[in-house]
Structure 1
Amino acid sequence: MIGRRNPFVAREGMPFLAVTLIGTGVAWQYAGVNYSIPLAMLFIYFVLVFRDPRRDVPAVPLGIVSPVDGIVVGIGLTDKSVLNGEAHKIIIRVNSLGTYTARCPVEGKIMDFRGARLHKQVPGETAGLWVRTDENDDVVLQFHGHRFGLAPRAFLRYGERVGQGQRCAYLRLTRFAEVQLPINGRVLVTAGQRVAAGSDVLAKLPHA
């Protein structure tokens, strides 16, 4: 399965690219090559930061795909989740030059994180998504370690259907992504393993 058509660069990055590209042209025209080089390098940097390539989503209906490009740095258990009781957690250090857009780990329905916070199941500062599959399994994606106060921004709303590997949020400058899955699910990755957003399977849900 291939994700829907989308520009190679995330829409949130378009203004930055436009400004630096125009600035490069103006500097070249009126100030010379030497003055345009720094802006050209900044343009290339923005292309790398905001890049959002298409990804082949594996045909694994009950698989949980990686939401980000990065390295698995932690695997363990948690009881601080909207999931009932203990849950597996997989922590990924985000590659700052990886894809700018996070991918949804599973197919399902977006649930209401705000309601969970009212019952004190999830910390109020948590940024992320809670997805319930058609088999009633809950998978949670959380983000931690925001730089300069720039938290990731989800562009899916409560109640929406979401596909496995579908673009779901702008990562911005977040450092870590955490995926939580039911305790009877099966983790397939190990610490130190590199993973690609929307392509690599992190775990499987129990209804296989």
Structure 2
Amino acid sequence: MDVYRARARTAPEMRTLRASSPAIAVVSSLAMVKEGYYFGVPPLLLGGIAIVFHWWILGGLLIAFALFCFAFFRDPERVVSGDPATIVSPADGKVVVITGEENAGRPGTRISIFLAIWNVHVNRSPAAGVITKVDYRPGKFLAAWDPNASKQNEQNVFTLATANGSIEFKQIAGLIARRVVSWKKPLESVAKGERIGLVRFGSRVDLWVPQGSELLVKVGDNVHGGSSILAHWPTRTAKSSIEATFVAAERQS
């Protein structure tokens, strides 16, 4: 199907929940996954040794790389919506594609999020439920913005069963990001916004939601994993439609 922009947002708008305290936000921004230590500490130590021996350029480059690793693997806390009707973003980045797509014969919508090198690369569960399947698929390493990346690139595909139905999301490797890491296994329960894995050094994450979901984002929106609300489940949409019908009837009476 052709790529389309989500309908104009009137109410409710796409929301990103934020930390209640600036101090909490600062402290959480300093958190880092273990890969940050693995990749960042060795060059930091070597850079310090190089500086001691007055190898300024080498030392500066090593320390700069270490700081880049610490920033890249940062893992800030996120304020997650407690509303069971919401579906949150599985990743930080920019929405680059919204398109109709079938999944196992079911109609729905795919939302693709591009992760730039400066985005947080920890991925989160878009809803609470049980992971019924984690399917690793080897493949190519096309650029993350390539339309064929969703189908042809190396990826981890998660199927999540929830109280509102099932959804699917993918960690997709890219031209630079050549490692997708899953921290969860099939039959594990996850909370909404819970950390589920990591994509190293940029790429994209795809989220598939069922037909009837109320989309709250459009192409070009910047989103944050765990805190940005991307959609409402179809049950929420149906309920809202019924409520709107009763309200209209009451106004006419």
Q: TM-score, normalised by structure 1?
A: 0.84
Match of 1:119 in 2: none
Partner of 2:185: 157
Q: In the alignment, is residue 185 of structure 1 matched against residue 185 of structure 2?
A: no
SS in structure 1 at match of 2:234: coil
How many Å separate the matches in 2 of 1:126 and 1:17? 25
Aligned residue in 2 for 1:118:
none
Long gaps (5+) in structure 1: 115-121
Q: What are the ranges of 5 or more consecutive residues in structure 2 without an aligned counterpart? A: 1-16, 20-27, 136-149, 237-253
Structure 2 residue identity aligned to 1:205: W
Q: Is the 8 A contact 2:75 2:122 kept in 1?
A: yes
Measured in 1, the distance between the counterparts of 2:121 and 2:177 equals 17
Identity of aligned residues (%): 23
Of the structure 1 ranges 191-200 and 122-131, higher mean CA displacement relative to structure 2 is found in 122-131
TM alignment of 1:1-208, pairs within 5 A: 8-79=31-102, 81-82=103-104, 84-114=105-135, 125-135=154-164, 137-148=165-176, 150-208=178-236
The letter of the residue matching 1:130 is T
* Residue of structure 1 equivalent to 2:139: none
Cα RMSD (Å): 2.6
Q: CA deviation at 1:148?
A: 5.0
Q: Which runs of 4+ in 1 moved over 3 A?
A: 31-35, 122-126
* 1:152-200 deviation line (CA, Å, top 9, x unaligned): 1111010000011111011113522111011121111111111111110
Structure number with higher helix proportion: 2
SS at the partner of 1:89? Answer: strand
Query: Would you say how many aligned residue pairs link Structure 1 and Structure 2?
Result: 197
Measure, in 1, the Cα distance between the counterparts of 2:174 and 2:50.
34
